[in-house]
Structure 1
Amino acid sequence: MDHPGYARRLTLLDAALIVVGGIIGGGIFLNPGIVAQRTESGLVLLGLWVAAGLLTLVGCLCYAELGARRPEAGGSYVYLREAFGRLAGFLFGWTMLLVIYSGSSAAVATIFGSYATSVFGLSPRLVKPLAVGAMCFVTGINLFGIRLGAQVQNVFAILKLAAITVLVVTGLAFAGAGTTQALAPSTIPPSGNLAGALLPVLFAFSGFSYLNNLAGEVRDPQRTLPRALVVGMLVVIGAYVLTNYAYLAVLGHAGLAASQAPAADVMSRVFGDAGAKIIAIGIAISTLGFCNITLVAGARVLQVMGEDGLFFSSVARLHPRYRTPNVALVMLAGWAMVLVLAANYGQLLDFAAFGDWAAYAVTIATLFWYRRKAGDRPSFVTPAYPLLPLVFLATVIAVVVAYAWSKPMSAAVVCLVVLAGLPVYAVWRRLFSKVAR
């Protein structure tokens, strides 16, 4: 190995805020209106957000055990490679690069561009250039070490939590009589069903796995990583449930269902245009933080793949001073910028969301292999095993199938990307078998 390895510089606070930043992007500011359209009352809507949060907490517990077993860079790629073989690991990394992480980052960067143009009164034609500029900004920061990147990420996470706090306090303090109607049935019939309503909720909770990709840079990872996953997830659940209650208190269930931008509607109802601009700035900051952690986490996967001989050897190198995978980071960010320019927000979100949750299901399936084959007991084990992992798997598989049914073209594109990885893997192994381990 011609590099000194990653530096373990991330503290418990850093790690917990990475979890928060990896989950809270733009979904909580946009998706509640969609959920309201598909539910019959505020009580059902809040119940879905609580249920999805608890389900995702189960996923965090499973990832906590996986991270405690393999506290190294690479996350899901490492678990899949060990449990199901190098092909499975490669297909995850291949899809992550082309669709999942790149698509997620590109989609959320597009949200940044949309809100930035809105706040400053710029031309809508600048949405994509601003999105590309935002990605250049977060990429540049992380070229100079995980410590600097973590500090910036902490600022982003704290600011987005501050924006949510302002939104919640505003909603609850100024809702008045609306709070008594928050949980009342709607006057409009729901469209779709509970499965359709659960989809946008679960997608707002995705991103909890990013910390595992950075496990090689976490201090005392066997203890820190499980704690950070649980603490970060509990913070997100609390923030999401309170935010949705604030929406319902101010707008009511029917008003939330009719809203295209519930956060802006709440703030503008109380503070006028100034309030809408304040929350727009908060949303823009939130999206920057999400893009930051997505690119950083994905770069670690590519770096480990390169080290294994399953990707270009250049991406395996760490910067000699900053000990960061700069080539991998620039490559992932560059492809995400291409997606920003080539696709619209809806397409990017559909591709990334389907691939993301399918990857969660496959990754947590590796936990059963580790329990059967590894023979060791890590510092953290998933409680109520195998019941909780099985509940998570069954629910996520049902969600993925429902999503494929509702968005067949998007699901087909992701499946084709995965299948395209098979011949690429075969060619790669043939050409670079001498350098592969």
Structure 2
Amino acid sequence: MADKHPNNNLKRSIGFGSAISIVIGTIIGSGIFFKQVSVLDSAGSSTMAIIAWIFGGLITLTGGLTIAEIGAQMPYTGGLYVYIENLYGRICGFMAGWMQIIVYGPAIIASVAGFMSILMANFFGLGRNWSIPLAIVTVIAIGLLNFLENKVGAVFSVITTIVKMIPIAAIVICGIFWGHQDALGQTISQVNQSTGGFGVAVLATLFAYDGWILIANLGGEIKNPQKLLPKAIILGISSVLVIYTLVTIGIFRFLPVGLIHRLGENTTAYLATKVFGTIGGKLLSAGIIISMMGTLNGKMLTFPRIVYAMARRGDLPFSKYLSYVTPKGKSPVVATLFIIVLAAIMMMFFKPDHLSDLCVFTVYCFYLLAFFGIFILRKKNKTRPFSTPLYPLVPIVAILGGLFVLISELINDPAGVLLFIGIVIVGLPIFYVVKRMDRKRLK
């Protein structure tokens, strides 16, 4: 059997500052700018929408606290893939990896690119029919960027993380200090009956909070991961919770909820122009687009490496090709192309808002398994580098939050849920076929 932890060849060079920047930079992307309308419509009022953002952040934080204890005991490259395999065995580990490369990864890339293309179309004065072509071209361009050496993508991530704080600070400051609306108490007189209520509002926020666990994929490259990984996860999520709450208050202070409801996905572009004028609005929109590109770059950097890791172990069809890396840059180019193709297909058949909910549902199926794993590890290991505070209350809240996500989405979109679950389950026979072929080759 191949080595479970191939990170032994990787250099532990990521310090605390870089780790927390990765957590914050990976989380903050399109969600906070484009999910405001979905959250508001489902919640029905500005007060409940703000509560939904806080509630989603607390669910995410309890999950982060739980995973922090698990990750400190398994400081290896691979994150969720490694945790599930160590806790539940080889097949469950494969399914966690399969889910990330076939459903979750492509879906979240397609969703972020889809949201970003809406803003790009507005920025360049193009019609909505340009959204999908713009999204596909952007994903291909960022994918090509990741064909180069890792340091190129790393520099791009640092620049975009800095840039993304500019529009966030602008919205918060201008909204809170110069807005004339009441952030609390505004209600929408007409809300679509299909929006789903407070549960779906919280589900929408979880897409905006998602991405924090991707730092665990770099566990083998973090200095002193037993201490730094938990700190980066906890402080990173806590910071984002505060930022998202302030951004939401800033938006509600500046725009009445009825107008936000009517503007829909164009709210961000309208707000930027309204606050800073035509030129200032363009610059702010450009900052938000660059912010989303940074998020997209982080995901394009991460998910192909899961494909590569699984292919190195011979877990996938055509593993020989999917595990190919360039001789100089050591980039998994075939795996990257694989993710690009899947993301492009999803863009053509699903709306970004729909994809975002489904990818959150899918990954939370495996988050739940990981959350339960903390009880398994507590029985096995009496000493731990990091202990989740308020145990077992925090893990229980994380589990209840996960169940809340699954039930809410199942009620709201049973057809989409069944489709994505079906795609994940297809991985099981593929695993057995690939392993059977491997055994035949060895005979």
Q: Is the 8 A contact 1:4 1:320 kept in 2?
A: no
The Cα of 1:316 is off from its aligned counterpart by 4.3
Show the counterpart of 1:166: 170
> CA RMSD of the aligned region, Å?
2.6
Show the counterpart of 1:360: 367
The answer to whether structure 1 residue 95 and structure 2 residue 95 are counterparts is no
For residues 142 and 368 of structure 2, the distance between their equivalents in structure 1, rounded to whole angstroms, comes to 29
Please identify, of 281-290 and 392-401, the stretch whose mean Cα deviation from structure 2 is larger.
281-290
For residues 160 and 292 of structure 2, the distance between their equivalents in structure 1, rounded to whole angstroms, comes to 9
Among candidates 355, 374, 385, match of residue 379 of structure 1? 385
Deviation per CA, 1:168-202: give whole Å up to 9, x if none: 12212321x32xx2212426276643213212122
Show the counterpart of 1:188: 189
Q: Is the 8 A contact 1:105 1:294 kept in 2?
A: yes
For residues 229 and 161 of structure 1, the distance between their equivalents in structure 2, rounded to whole angstroms, comes to 19
Please identify, of 73-82 and 48-57, the stretch whose mean Cα deviation from structure 2 is larger.
48-57
The Cα of 1:411 is off from its aligned counterpart by 0.2
The answer to whether structure 1 residue 60 and structure 2 residue 64 are counterparts is yes
Distance 1:63 1:150, change over 3 A: farther
Show the counterpart of 1:428: 434
Matched to 2:371, the amino acid is I
Among candidates 150, 153, 158, match of residue 146 of structure 1? 150
The answer to whether structure 1 residue 396 and structure 2 residue 399 are counterparts is no
Q: Is the 8 A contact 2:204 2:357 kept in 1?
A: no
For residues 320 and 94 of structure 2, the distance between their equivalents in structure 1, rounded to whole angstroms, comes to 14
Please identify, of 101-110 and 360-369, the stretch whose mean Cα deviation from structure 2 is larger.
360-369
Among candidates 265, 271, 275, match of residue 266 of structure 1? 271
Show the counterpart of 2:139: 135
For residues 233 and 300 of structure 1, the distance between their equivalents in structure 2, rounded to whole angstroms, comes to 24
The Cα of 1:353 is off from its aligned counterpart by 2.6
Among candidates 210, 226, 236, match of residue 214 of structure 2? 210
The answer to whether structure 1 residue 334 and structure 2 residue 334 are counterparts is no
Q: Is the 8 A contact 2:361 2:405 kept in 1?
A: no
The Cα of 1:111 is off from its aligned counterpart by 2.1
Q: Percent identity?
A: 28
Describe the SS at the equivalent of 2:255.
helix
Q: Is the 8 A contact 1:60 1:229 kept in 2?
A: yes
Matched to 2:287, the amino acid is G
Deviation per CA, 1:181-232: give whole Å up to 9, x if none: 2212426276643213212122221111111112222222222222211222
Taking structure 2 as the reference length, the TM-score comes to 0.89
Distance 1:385 1:90, change over 3 A: same
Show the counterpart of 2:356: 349
Matched to 1:114, the amino acid is I
Distance 1:94 1:115, change over 3 A: same
The answer to whether structure 1 residue 38 and structure 2 residue 57 are counterparts is no
Deviating runs (4+, > 6 A) in structure 1? 1-4
> Unmatched 5+ residue regions in structure 1?
none
For residues 303 and 381 of structure 1, the distance between their equivalents in structure 2, rounded to whole angstroms, comes to 32
For residues 113 and 28 of structure 1, the distance between their equivalents in structure 2, rounded to whole angstroms, comes to 15
The answer to whether structure 1 residue 297 and structure 2 residue 296 are counterparts is no
Matched to 1:370, the amino acid is L
Show the counterpart of 1:223: 227
Show the counterpart of 2:423: 417
Distance 1:391 1:315, change over 3 A: same
Matched to 2:368, the amino acid is A
Deviation per CA, 1:286-328: give whole Å up to 9, x if none: 2212211112222232233223332214444655654554443
Show the counterpart of 2:315: 310
Q: Is the 8 A contact 1:115 1:284 kept in 2?
A: yes
For residues 257 and 120 of structure 2, the distance between their equivalents in structure 1, rounded to whole angstroms, comes to 28
Matched to 2:311, the amino acid is G
Show the counterpart of 1:15: 19
Distance 1:320 1:390, change over 3 A: farther
Taking structure 1 as the reference length, the TM-score comes to 0.90
Show the counterpart of 1:117: 121
The answer to whether structure 1 residue 108 and structure 2 residue 112 are counterparts is yes
Distance 1:370 1:300, change over 3 A: farther
The Cα of 1:413 is off from its aligned counterpart by 0.5
The Cα of 1:404 is off from its aligned counterpart by 1.1
Q: Is the 8 A contact 1:28 1:204 kept in 2?
A: yes
Describe the SS at the equivalent of 1:383.
coil
Matched to 1:385, the amino acid is Y
Deviation per CA, 1:338-374: give whole Å up to 9, x if none: 333454434433432321222322222222222223x
For residues 120 and 185 of structure 1, the distance between their equivalents in structure 2, rounded to whole angstroms, comes to 33
For residues 406 and 26 of structure 1, the distance between their equivalents in structure 2, rounded to whole angstroms, comes to 22
For residues 417 and 221 of structure 1, the distance between their equivalents in structure 2, rounded to whole angstroms, comes to 34
Matched to 2:346, the amino acid is L
Describe the SS at the equivalent of 1:209.
helix
> Unmatched 5+ residue regions in structure 2?
none
For residues 404 and 7 of structure 2, the distance between their equivalents in structure 1, rounded to whole angstroms, comes to 43
Distance 1:224 1:92, change over 3 A: same
Distance 1:253 1:119, change over 3 A: closer
For residues 148 and 10 of structure 1, the distance between their equivalents in structure 2, rounded to whole angstroms, comes to 16
The Cα of 1:123 is off from its aligned counterpart by 5.0
Distance 1:385 1:147, change over 3 A: farther
Q: Is the 8 A contact 2:168 2:247 kept in 1?
A: yes
